[in-house]
Amino acid sequence: MKNNGVFVSDLSTSKHIFNSYHFCRGNSNKRKTRIGIIVKGSGVFIYLNKKLAVSEGDVVFIPENIYCYSEWQGKPDIEVMYVSCFIHYDGFGYEPQTILCDNIVKKKLIKISKLLSSDYIECLEAYSIFYKVLQIILPQMVPSNIAFDKTLQTAIEYITNNWNQPFSVSDVAKRCCVSESKLYHLFQKELGQTPIRFLNSIKINIAIEYLENRDYSIATISRLVGFNSENHFRKTFVYYTGTTPLKYRKRII
């Protein structure tokens, strides 16, 4: 690496625990670089017309400059722990990738997570350990100068940011300055699903959050996530999770 300085800021940690299925929308505002340990379950990060599959035990690197979303499956549990920050370096160009890490690096990441939950002195120690982790992982990572068609990425961001607003596939196509048929082709080729299937995966994830955290009826949840009928909601829920909303709720109570 060139001697033009590398430093990190706003170091933080988070743990995500879900049941059986989870769709994680990418956040287009103030994205951080994330280094994550897949503790339980498996998933796929989807970005720039590409996919990165991860499974239990993997360590994954997700850079802040690339918008991506992810889908997760667990039998039955999903657990992912992230250490996140902003990395400041002009020549920093990577795409999402898994990192070959031994247990020592994983233990360092877990220790960072614990230290960040303590006082400011221990937070300083967390920064020190994180720099050491970067020293280990950056030399083995594959740099990237990828060029990509932004059309699908624009469509993904539009749908994830407006899932609860009324819009048609035609509206999305117009936002992307392409025809509907071109948009369908992009989704089928790169994601293996239609724009509507993609939208429904977001809705089902929101429905799962309601089932886990709110005492709403199935009919109310169906309406809140934008399905025209409870029957359609139930069938779509089964498609993504393998069980009905009612059975899912009973399993987590």
- Residues 126, 191, single domain; the answer is no
- The answer to whether residue 22 scores a pLDDT higher than 50 is yes
- Residues 184, 76, single domain; the answer is no
If one counts the domains in the chain, the total is 2
- Residues 93, 180, single domain; the answer is no
Tens digits of residue pLDDT in 40-54: 999 999 876 678 999
Burial class (CB in 10 A: 0-12, 13-18, 19+), 237: buried
Tens digits of residue pLDDT in 57-70: 999 999 887 778 88
Q: What is the pTM of this model?
A: 0.69
- Residues 50, 133, single domain; the answer is yes
- Residues 121, 168, single domain; the answer is no
Q: Which residue has the tokens 């050491």?
A: 132
User: Would you say 173 and 180 are in contact if contact means Cβ atoms under 8 Å apart?
Assistant: yes
- Residues 61, 103, single domain; the answer is yes
**Residue 145 covered by a domain:** no
Closest CA to 157 of 224, 66, 73: 66
Higher pLDDT, 66 or 109: 109
- Residues 194, 105, single domain; the answer is no
Last residue in a domain, options 85, 116, 140? 140
Structural domain of residue 30, as residue ranges?
Answer: 7-140
- Residues 115, 163, single domain; the answer is no
Burial class (CB in 10 A: 0-12, 13-18, 19+), 236: buried
Last residue in a domain, options 96, 113, 140? 140
Tens digits of residue pLDDT in 88-105: 887 668 889 999 989 999
Q: What tokens were used for 72?
A: 């997760």
CA distance 22 to 120: 34
Per-residue pLDDT at 30: 57
- Residues 133, 202, single domain; the answer is no
- Residues 195, 164, single domain; the answer is yes
Please report, rounded to a whole number, the percentage of residues in the chain having pLDDT higher than 90: 53
Q: What is the CATH number of the domain that holds 30?
A: 2.60.120.280
- What is the 3-class SS of 160-201, one letter each residue? HHCCCCCCCHHHHHHHHCCCHHHHHHHHHHHHCCCHHHHHHH
- Residues 216, 155, single domain; the answer is yes
Bridge partners, residue 7, by sequence: 88
**Residue 156 covered by a domain:** yes
Per-residue pLDDT at 146: 65
Last residue in a domain, options 121, 140, 159? 140
- Residues 14, 45, single domain; the answer is yes
